[in-house]
Amino acid sequence: MGHSFGADAAIRMAEKMMTLGAPVALVVTFGPTTNLVAPSNVGQVVNYYTGNTLVSKATRFKGSISNINLNSAADINHLNIEKSNRVQTSVISRIQAIAGRERHTSPSAVVQ
| Res 12: pLDDT | 98
Contact 31, 48 (CB under 8 A): yes
| Closest alpha carbon to 49 in 39, 36, 62, 63 | 36
Check whether 3 has a pLDDT greater than 50.
yes
For β-strands 2-3 and 42-49, DSSP reports them as unpaired
The average confidence (pLDDT) of the chain is 91
Check whether 41 has a pLDDT greater than 80.
yes
- Give Dmax over CA atoms of the chain in angstroms: 52
| Res 100: pLDDT | 86
